[in-house]
Amino acid sequence: MVQGEPDPGRELDGRHRFDRPARGDGTLALMDFRFDSVEGVREGLAKVDYLADEGIAGVVYLADRLQKPVLVEGPAGTGKTQLAKSVAEMSGARLIRLQCYEGLDESKALYEWNYKKQLLRIQAERGEDQGWDEIEDNIFSDDFLLTRPLLEAIRAEDPVVLLVDEVDRVEVETEALLLEILSDYQVSIPEMGTIGAEQIPLVFLTSNNTRELSEALKRRCLYLHVDYPDLDREKAIVLAKVPDISDSLADQVARIVRSIRQLELKKSPSVSETLDWARTLVLLGVEKVDAEMAGQTVNILLKYQSDIAKAVKEFSSEGQAFKRGGPFSTDE
Amino acid sequence: MSEIRAATGSPMLDLLAGFIQELRDAGLPVSLTENLDAMEAVKHIPLEDREAFKYALGATLVKNHSHWRAFETVFEVYFSLRGSEYDISGEAGGDESGEDREAELGAGTGQGERSGAGGGEAMTPEELAEMLYQALMRGDEAMMRAVARQAVQRYAGMEPGRPVGGTYYLYRTLRNLDLDGVLDRLMTRAHRDAPEELTPLEARLEEDEFQSRIDELKREIEAEIRRRLVADRGVEAMAKTLRKPLPEDVDFMHASRDEMKMLRHAIYPLTRKLAVRLARKRRHGRKGPLDFRNTMRHSLSYGGVPAEPKFRYPRPSKPEIMVVADISGSVAAFARFTLHLVYAISSQFSKVRSFVFIDGLDEVTPFFEGTEDIAEAVHRVNTEADVVWVDGHSDYGHALEVFWQRFEKDVNAKTTILILGDARNNYHASQSWIVKEMRHKARHVFWLNPEPRSYWDTGDSIVGEYGVHCDGVFECRNLRQLESFVENLA
Ligand SMILES: Nc1ncnc2c1ncn2[C@@H]1O[C@H](COP(=O)(O)OP(=O)(O)OP(=O)(O)O)[C@@H](O)[C@H]1O
Ligand SMILES: [Mg+2]
């Protein structure tokens, strides 16, 4: 074994406790970690029917240890969103979700003042002899604050997992809204000051990679690329998620999907499409997938006509002559 | 081992520092924060868990998936298994593998290695071939690792200090293993053992399974060679030898087969991103700059108050694109990627027409019409277009002449013409007057050259002669440059 210097944070009994500063007062607080080991994360996720590989489990584990958000990227339908949900479920935390879209702004992501209520209060107080300063203090207080997901996650007293879903959909400028939360777990509200986190939430951001996210955002996050699962993991996912499916059918489904993904396609089947297909086969009472059945149902796996044609051709006797390789394969 | 300890301070941190430096040298943008994060992260990982260790470093240092391959290579070099059994010189302790290996950083995954291999005694070629066959048939990973070690030992012919790259050894090893032959044998056996005749689908699935085991074996052989090379040459030298450009920086003209494959995979996400970005740009940029005159004119009806600001049209109407591409030999790949990108965002243009040439010229627009599969269309361009006139060596002059004769009538003030090629004209006449006329009639004429700028106008390159008549000549050696050109075009 290569021995590093003895690590003060690593205790002999395998439980890890780290000293870390608490917010505000600068004193030290002892905190427990959520997870004991990478393997523990993997097992915990499996219990809630999420099948993680070493990479996924490892990054979730680190996110907790380093108190850093995780940026999850990867093709559509590979379980990015589900990961955050499942982590919440396994750790008994509440999931707070911010769904991103083009045009999302501060008032929907962070907080908003309740103008109507403020106006009413101002009107009501007009008669009495309160100074404006007093009224102002009053109306810019908690009572008039509409809390949106990011602020909600910061202020939560119970354990939460914050999911910022499809963050690549917001404009680059909007990304800036996230930075303070992601690095300092706090929100600054000009009228009220800085609100720090009650406890550090686990944060997941997902992206379909439709645009490059800013360096500033990436620097603050751990990065996890979730790809299509390998054969065994996909089979396990099918077995976990599709009721009443036989082991042998799940196996065939995973194998066929793997072979299809090797073709050069416009869009490869996602895990959700694999699951849809498996469910369909079960409904149809299929026990063994033959080429004809595969051809009839392949439109569940593939969305583009040209992809469907390619797959059907590949798996018929006609395709055998070609062997593997899509366009381009002959010209190099 | 000893060299890890020898360094001052914490050996782990020293090794890590070298590792991160190498990542930077390979072009990965690792910031200081990320560097510190990585150092912090590994404290939480038991050192013997090599996989977890790798993911911890990956999650903190690699924030772009297309850099993962480069990261993995460097990781393998810096943190690969090491020990005397990897000495190329052979003898030195080939068979006492066990302890040494276990003692190494990350040896946790190496256990069970010896099963079936029986230490270092050489096997006969027949024994090895049989073991290979068995290992692949059963998909037994430990056995495959053992085969890989034996195969490298026997066939790679590695000699200490020899300045030969890993691919050379890989090639020698694979040639001797005859994996195609083994696959045939495995398939024959699968057909024979099947209770009923295998349907084409079943046969295909069987074959894909064997193929994936073979790929696994190849990776194992590569790793074995790399470990031995590292043992021979040292970490830093090895990392340097293996350094490869990131996908976006791979030179179109010198891409290896593997890199080509990587580029083909990179192009889909890239076009998708580009399309999304452009669509957004169009939606947001709907308002152009303030049209001062128009605003003032309207203000008259408000008694001189500019109450109703008027904006210029955001952008002129969508251009019509004509791509004229040299598809001979070394520039063919460049032409393919460019056509791919341009068609991927064709909705940004009112029309796209494409023409390809070597010494003759042919319009290939119909290949792209009515198909959603751009790759397929590009493939047809390569195989079906009629582009050879005399001898199949590029003749820009003649190709341009044909283009102008046949299509001048279609060029107008809305047309943007893109000419793609290295302008290596094999000393034919340039006919550069045509480009001059083009610019006269068209909105823009741009030339994209896949050669490094320093090669322009050397030898038989006459890009300068054409360039003076263009609105711009751009170096497009890699996806990064090409993408940025195409984006600005729309
Ligand atoms: N590892 C996994 N274990 C269990 N279920 C999974 C796994 N991966 C994906 N799934 C299932 O696949 C489906 C798609 O997952 P999810 O919606 O999380 O994908 P996504 O990556 O967020 O996709 P998108 O990019 O389209 O948002 C879900 O039903 C999810 O339960
Ligand atoms: Mg999702």
Q: Calculate how far, in angstroms, residue A35's C-alpha sits from the geometric centre of ligand 2.
A: 24
Q: Is residue B418 part of a domain?
A: yes
A224 within ligand 1 shell (Cβ under 6 A):
no
Q: Please indicate, yes or no, whether residues B229 and B146 belong to a single structural domain of this protein.
A: yes
Q: Is A218 on the interface with B (CB under 8 A)?
A: yes
Establish if B42 belongs to a structural domain.
yes
Which residue type does B390 have? V
Sign of CA dihedral B244, B246, B247, B253: negative
Among the ranges given (B307-316, B349-358, B462-471), the one the predictor scored with the smallest mean pLDDT: B307-316
What pLDDT, on the 0 to 100 scale, is given for residue A330?
35
- Chain B neighbors of A221, CB-CB under 8 A: 63
Residue B342 sits in the same domain as residue B459: yes
**For residue B273, what pLDDT is reported?**
73
Q: What is the pLDDT of residue A213?
A: 87
B149 contacts B224 by C-beta, under 8 angstroms: yes
Ion ligand 2, residue ranges at CB < 5 A: A 81
Dist. CA B420–CA B447, nearest whole Å: 6
Cβ–Cβ under 8 Å, residues B34 and B23: no
Say how many Å lie between the CA of residue A163 and the centre of ligand 1. 14
Mean pLDDT along residues B285-308 = 63
Q: Which helix (H) or strand (E) holds A239?
A: helix A231-241
Q: Which residues pair with A95 in a beta bridge?
A: A161
Q: Give the closest-approach CA distance of B322 to chain A in angstroms.
A: 23
Tokens (6 digits) for B156:
């790679």
Dump pLDDT digits (tens) for B148-200: 999 998 888 888 777 677 778 888 898 888 888 999 999 999 999 988 888 88
Q: Element (H or E) spanning B322, and its range?
A: strand B320-326
Q: For residue A300, give the DSSP letter.
A: G
Residue nearest to atom 25 of ligand 1 (CA): A76
The DSSP H or E segment spanning A308 is: helix A305-315
Q: Could you tell me if B308 and B232 lie in one domain?
A: no
Q: Does A165 touch chain B (CB under 8 A)?
A: no
Whether residues B475 and B334 share a domain: the answer is: yes
Amino acid at B14: D
Q: Which of B40, B255, B420 is nearest to A62 (CA)?
A: B40
- Look up the pTM and report it: 0.75
Classify each residue of B351-361 as buried b or exposed e, where b means 16 or more C-beta atoms within 10 Å of its C-beta: ebbbbbbbbbb
Q: How far is A61 from chain B (nearest CA, A)?
A: 9
Does B375 sit within 8 Å of A328, measured CB to CB? yes
Is B85 within a domain? no
Q: Give the residue from B300, B41, B259, B104 showing the smallest Cα distance to A223.
A: B41
Separation of alpha carbons B338 and B317, rounded Å = 23
Prediction ipTM score: 0.82
Domain spanning A34-108+148-225: which superfamily?
P-loop containing nucleotide triphosphate hydrolases (3.40.50.300)
> Domain range holding B230?
98-244
A217 close to B (CB below 8 A): no
A272 lines ligand 1 (CB under 6 A): yes
Helices and strands counted in chain A (H then E): 15, 11
Same domain, B234 and B373: no
Residue ending a domain, among B215, B244, B273, is B244
The structural domains of chain A, with segments of one domain joined by +, span 34-108+148-225, 111-147, 231-323
DSSP state of A142: G
B327 and B211 in a common domain: no
**Rounded distance between C-alpha atoms, residue A279 and residue A250, angstroms:** 10
Q: Is residue B92 part of a domain?
A: no
* CB of A294 less than 8 A from some CB of B: yes
Tell if the CB–CB gap between A332 and B37 is shorter than 8 Å: no
Q: Indicate the number of domains in chain B.
A: 4
pLDDT of residue A79: 95
Yes or no, beta carbons of A331 and B44 under 8 Å apart: no
Per the CB < 8 A criterion, the answer to whether A71 and A205 are in contact is yes
Q: How many CB atoms lie within 10 A of CB B240?
A: 13
Q: Are residues B178 and B275 in the same domain?
A: no
Report which DSSP code applies to B442: S
Residue B217 sits in the same domain as residue B296: no
Residues of B in Cβ contact (< 8 Å) with A324: 211
Q: What is the pLDDT of residues A294-304, one digit of tens each?
A: 988 999 999 98
Cα torsion for A218, A222, A228, A233, to the nearest 10°?
-170
Name the DSSP class of A185.
S
Beta carbons within 8 Å of B122's beta carbon, 6+ residues apart: B150, B153, B154
Residue B90 falls within a domain, yes or no? no
- The bridge status of strand B444-449 relative to strand B351-357 is unpaired
Q: How far apart are CA A316 and CA B217, in angstroms?
A: 29
- Long-range CB pairs of A116-124 (<8 Å, 24+ gap) are A117/A143, A117/A144, A118/A144
B residues 333..362 contacting A (CB < 8 A): 336
Tell whether B321 and B232 lie within a shared domain: no
DSSP string covering B10-76, please?
-HHHHHHHHHHHHHHHTT----HHHHHHHHHHHHTS-TT-HHHHHHHHHHHH--SGGGHHHHHHHHH
The closest ligand to the CA of A209 turns out to be: 1
Residue type, A4: G
Q: Whose alpha carbon is nearest atom 7 of ligand 1? A: A79
Asked if B18 and B7 touch (Cβ cutoff 8 Å), the reply is no
Specify the pLDDT at position A102.
86
Measured between alpha carbons, how far is B180 from B4 in angstroms, rounded to an integer? 41
pLDDT average, residue stretch B54-75: 92
One-letter amino acid for residue A312 of the chain: V
A37: CB partners within 8 A, 6+ apart: A61
Q: Are residues B172 and B225 in the same domain?
A: yes
Q: Render pLDDT for B441-480 as a digit per residue (tens, 0 to 9).
A: 999 999 999 888 888 998 888 999 999 999 999 998 888 8
B33: in domain: yes
CB B450 within 8 A of CB B414: no
Q: What is the DSSP letter of A304?
A: S
B354-389 per-position pLDDT tens digit = 898 888 888 888 888 877 667 777 777 777 777 777
- Say which residues have a Cβ less than 8 Å from residue B214's Cβ, sequence separation at least 6: B136, B179, B182, B183
Please measure the distance between the N-terminal and C-terminal CA atoms of chain B and give it in whole angstroms.
56
Considering the domain architecture, whether residues B291 and B226 belong to the same structural domain is answered as no
Whether residues B117 and B199 share a domain: the answer is yes
Instruction: For residue A77, report the distance from its CA to the centre of ligand 1, in Å.
Output: 5
Percentage of residues in chain B with pLDDT exceeding 70? 80
